[in-house]
């Protein structure tokens, strides 16, 4: 089974449990907090992702993190399950999938915008308003600088990409000229 499919299944199962307990947002915060700690401490990530390290040692690493922050027991159980099943390698994809589910339930979507330079506030507000109107949801922008773009922007909503970049326009023009 493909790892992203497996990650979505884990995320969906966790979201169902969290929803039943009215903890959807809290579990999401816990998972994102755990992920940020792993990102900040590469040696911890290496430990929890290494299949040659015992499950007990990996579990202790997770316990060290959990002792520092207030974490819901459901999050703790879920992380321990990932360790026991040797699926901690999926944690990034699981958190991404869980966040999408969480946003879907709350009527929010995250839109990734790539541009060669930061958008001015007026353009950002207009983009949010346009996307919010077209999707019917509250929009949060995740902005990414891409100096390789000549101008314009690339907008990604989930798996849909809209290329409004100069490079994209030139490629479309080139394709039209070729016939």
- Domains in the chain with CATH codes: 3-104 (1.10.520), 108-178 (3.40.30)
**pLDDT per position as a tens digit, 41-62:** 888 888 888 888 889 988 888 8
Whether this prediction's pTM lies above 0.75 is answered by no
The DSSP result for the chain, as a single string, is --HHHHHHHHHHHHHHHHHHTT-HHHHHHHHHHHHHHHHH-HHHHHHHH-TTS-HHHHHHHHHHHHHHS---HHHHHHHHHHHHTT-GGGHHHHHHHHHHHHHHHHTEEEEEEEESSPPPHHHHHHHHHHHHHHHSSEEEEEEEE-TT--SS-EEEETTEEEE-SHHHHHHHHHHHHH-
pLDDT score for 1: 58
């Amino acid at each position: 089974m493909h790892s992203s499919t497996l990650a979505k299944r884990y995320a969906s199962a966790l979201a169902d449990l969290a929803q039943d307990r009215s903890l959807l947002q809290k579990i999401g915060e816990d998972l994102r907090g755990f992920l940020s700690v792993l990102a900040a401490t590469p040696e911890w990530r290496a430990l929890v992702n290494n299949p040659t390290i015992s499950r007990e040692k990996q579990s202790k690493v997770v316990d060290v993190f959990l002792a520092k922050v207030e974490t819901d027991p459901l999050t703790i159980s879920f992380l321990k399950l990932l360790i026991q099943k040797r699926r901690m390698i999926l944690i990034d994809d699981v958190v991404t999938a869980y966040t999408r589910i969480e946003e879907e339930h709350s009527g929010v979507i995250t839109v990734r915008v790539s541009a060669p330079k930061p958008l001015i506030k007026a353009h950002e507000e207009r983009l949010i308003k346009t996307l919010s109107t077209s999707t019917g949801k509250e929009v949060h922008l995740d902005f990414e600088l891409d100096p390789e773009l000549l101008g314009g922007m690339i907008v990604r909503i989930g798996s849909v990409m809209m290329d409004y970049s100069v490079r994209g326009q030139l490629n479309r023009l080139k394709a039209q000229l070729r016939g």
